[in-house]
Structure 1
Amino acid sequence: MTDALKRLSDEGVAIWLDDLSRKRITSGALGELLDEQHVVGVTTNPTIFQKAISAGDGYEQQVSDLAARRVSVDEALRMITTADVRDAADVLRPVFDATDSKDGRVSIEVDPRLAHNTKATVAEARQLAWLVDRPNTFIKIPATKAGLSAITETIGLGISVNVTLIFSLERYRAVMDAYMAGLEKAKSLGLDLSQIHSVASFFVSRVDTEIDKRLSAIGTEQAKKLKSKAAVANARLAYQEYEKVVASDRWQALERAGANQQRPLWASTGVKDPSLPDTLYVTELVAPNTVNTMPEATLEATADHGEIAGDRVRGSYEDAQAVLDAIAELGISYDDVVQVLEDEGVSKFEDSWNDLLKSTEAELQRLAPKEA
């Protein structure tokens, strides 16, 4: 079952699980994925926590204690989520140590309601890093315009960051610039750059979902031929941008000072269109020094029948650009697509967070001690 995952790992792709729950930690299921499925990291987001906590498994005692203390719903939610991340980080600590801090990491996201507030995002990142208090934590910051400055400030404090919700090549370039600016700031403060890590989460499947919808509306034969090609092409061109940056004089100077490369991370790799191969966004995006964070269904599909044919990214840039050019020629605006996706991404995480606040508040009220 794990041969394909081992081959993927051997190609330089770090396999991360895009899911976390308390039951997964306490049952030993997370540890089994590390031992048997080559998983070396975990990512979370508001939607993942909303599903886990709403299911209720393993949370009642902590919620009862929080209700007895009469904490606010916001504080309760942070205590619950950071507890899960802290415990997961402890499970992954051996991987962190074995990979010299490159992997074995767990990501936790800042409150999505702060996505357009730089100062509040930095404050939240600092608070989360303090609350979790584990060296193998990534703080997730969305790549909104306000998020770019927050990335620089947070990296400059020596806090490792997972930059999320990247859809466009232009924004990805800005993210890499923000990371380097943060490292330069950290260096000026005398911080050890070798202890700062980052990944840049470039979203994949949602690009096909949005562009394919527009291609279907056009309905021509040319439009049909281009369906389900944009996401992989976009991600491959992102890797080309990564290669340009790591070859630059600016990056080389930082690397000589001990800095770690900001690895491209392929996110949203679960296939949304059932007509597509369920391992499409894994097998077609194999490249060295990348991360692929997968929902469990995608992980299992890759283990079962994924065909890993080596590096599928380098050398594909001309064809990838041709795909995006052909889509543009049909009148589909790339800039509009990626802006819609960013806005929807932030909105979906806000909605999940608000749903989570409501369900947590209901549980706090249900378990609150009765007045004497």
Structure 2
Amino acid sequence: MTQNLATLSKAGVAVWLDDLSRDLVHGGGLQTHVDEHSVVGVTSNPSIFAAAISGSKSYDDQLHAMAVRGVTVEEALRVITAADVRDACDVLAPVAARTGRDGRVSLEVAPSLAHDTDATAAEAAHLWWLVDRPNLFIKIPATVEGLPAMTETIANGISVNVTLIFSLERYRAVMDAYLAGLEKRALDPDASFEGIESVASFFVSRVDTEIDQRLDDSSLKGKAGVANAQLAYQAYEEVFSSDRWKALEARGASKQRPLWASTGVKNPDYSDTLYLSELVAPDTVNTMPEKTMLAFADHGQLGRPVQETYADAAAVLQAVTDAGVDLDDVFAVLEDEGVRKFADAWDDLTDSVREQLRDRA
């Protein structure tokens, strides 16, 4: 029942689709999700683009045109991905106009830049110019080097989706970087906060995958990912009720919403709607694979509100720690792995496009 997704939306959770392709946009699938499944946003990543471009003939004409012009593979990649994101932004423009916050589509900076602050900020500005749509999000990884790039990007009036957040400590640093960007922008008396939005993508299922394999106590498996995210929302409530935030809010700034990412269940023993049902809270976003979205539409139910879970969530993480799991190491491994996986996917995408350009020259 699509009503289940509408109910999730009414509870304050913005339903976003973690998928993007030319066929989805031009074939009407995205509009159908907007109309029937309460979808109000889209996220993409290198893996998604790799699957889209290699699995469709919709890119053939554009690839041929670029091949005969002799464009570089790097230029071809950005032209192709920017075109898909731009068209998706146009589909979601009415949602953006209606909500003022959603209707957003995310495009990621090259993963190879994850540890280069200046290059990340420069590419964020370039992608913002290239897509040229106000309802765009530029995805910047929450690495140590990515945080100051995010601050600079926000200060320049560019909306940001900060991705690959795993730990509460890093999440607090992300929120601090966002506020710093707004404060820097506020120093310019002619600058405005109008149109500037941000989400902080806090990953969930990958946390369970990594922690579960380190646990001997089966009773604790499948609980840490949700608990970690629940405590992230507690941190969000603290930061965005502070005097520092209220000063920015008075000037028209928007809160940086938590976005629950990696919400497709990877362990078949767990409920296929686990990371939707247990993360219901106002002013949040949940970006989900189509399979997960349709599962919730069919049989999903709202779980306990996140604000009622903080004590239990803290107890879960303490129990995991007491069981011998080094959470700091878990989060470090997940960040390194996340950057590497996206970089590998970007390399695969680059190789695929290079081969297709050669075949169509």
Indicate the residue corresponding to 2:239 in structure 1. 245
Q: Is the 8 A contact 2:168 2:231 kept in 1?
A: yes
Q: Is the 8 A contact 1:22 1:57 kept in 2?
A: no
Aligned ranges for residues 50-89 of structure 1 at < 5 Å? 50-89=50-89
Indicate the residue corresponding to 1:117 in structure 2. 116
Once residues 256 and 5 of structure 1 are traced to their aligned partners in structure 2, the CA distance between those partners, rounded to angstroms, is 33
Structure 1 residues 172-203: Cα deviation after superposition (integer angstroms, max 9, x where no partner):
00000000000011111232113210000000
* Alignment partner of 1:359 is 2:352: yes
Once residues 263 and 57 of structure 1 are traced to their aligned partners in structure 2, the CA distance between those partners, rounded to angstroms, is 37
Structure 1 residues 246-288: Cα deviation after superposition (integer angstroms, max 9, x where no partner):
1111000000010000000000000000010000000000000
Structure 1 residues 292-351: Cα deviation after superposition (integer angstroms, max 9, x where no partner):
000000000000000124x52002111101111111111111100000000000000000
* Alignment partner of 1:225 is 2:187: no
* Alignment partner of 1:145 is 2:144: yes
Once residues 150 and 351 of structure 2 are traced to their aligned partners in structure 1, the CA distance between those partners, rounded to angstroms, is 29
Indicate the residue corresponding to 1:9 in structure 2. 9
Identity %: 62
Indicate the residue corresponding to 1:204 in structure 2. 204
Once residues 56 and 95 of structure 2 are traced to their aligned partners in structure 1, the CA distance between those partners, rounded to angstroms, is 29
Runs of 5+ unmatched residues, structure 1: none
* Alignment partner of 1:337 is 2:330: yes
The normalised TM-score by structure 1 is 0.96
* Alignment partner of 1:31 is 2:24: no
Q: Is the 8 A contact 1:23 1:57 kept in 2?
A: no
* Aligned equivalent of 1:261, options 252, 255, 269: 255
SS of residue matched to 1:291 = strand
Once residues 296 and 116 of structure 2 are traced to their aligned partners in structure 1, the CA distance between those partners, rounded to angstroms, is 38
Runs of 5+ unmatched residues, structure 2: none
Shift of 1:3: 1.0
Structure 1 residues 2-51: Cα deviation after superposition (integer angstroms, max 9, x where no partner):
11101000001000000000000111111010011100000000110011
Once residues 328 and 275 of structure 1 are traced to their aligned partners in structure 2, the CA distance between those partners, rounded to angstroms, is 23
SS of residue matched to 2:271 = coil
The normalised TM-score by structure 2 is 0.99
Once residues 14 and 202 of structure 1 are traced to their aligned partners in structure 2, the CA distance between those partners, rounded to angstroms, is 15
Indicate the residue corresponding to 2:107 in structure 1. 108
Once residues 30 and 2 of structure 1 are traced to their aligned partners in structure 2, the CA distance between those partners, rounded to angstroms, is 15
Once residues 197 and 331 of structure 2 are traced to their aligned partners in structure 1, the CA distance between those partners, rounded to angstroms, is 26
Greater mean alpha carbon deviation, residues 187-196 or residues 177-186: 187-196
* Aligned equivalent of 1:307, options 276, 286, 301: 301
SS of residue matched to 2:137 = strand
Write out the 4+ residue segments of structure 1 that deviate beyond 6 Å after TM superposition: none
Q: Is the 8 A contact 2:23 2:56 kept in 1?
A: no
* Alignment partner of 1:292 is 2:291: no
Structure 1 residues 119-150: Cα deviation after superposition (integer angstroms, max 9, x where no partner):
00000000000000000000000000000000
SS of residue matched to 1:84 = helix
CA RMSD of aligned residues (A): 0.7
Shift of 1:56: 2.6
SS of residue matched to 1:214 = coil
Indicate the residue corresponding to 1:271 in structure 2. 265
Question: Which residue type is aligned with residue 135 of structure 1?
Answer: P
Once residues 38 and 23 of structure 1 are traced to their aligned partners in structure 2, the CA distance between those partners, rounded to angstroms, is 20
SS of residue matched to 1:179 = helix
Question: Which residue type is aligned with residue 264 of structure 2?
Answer: G
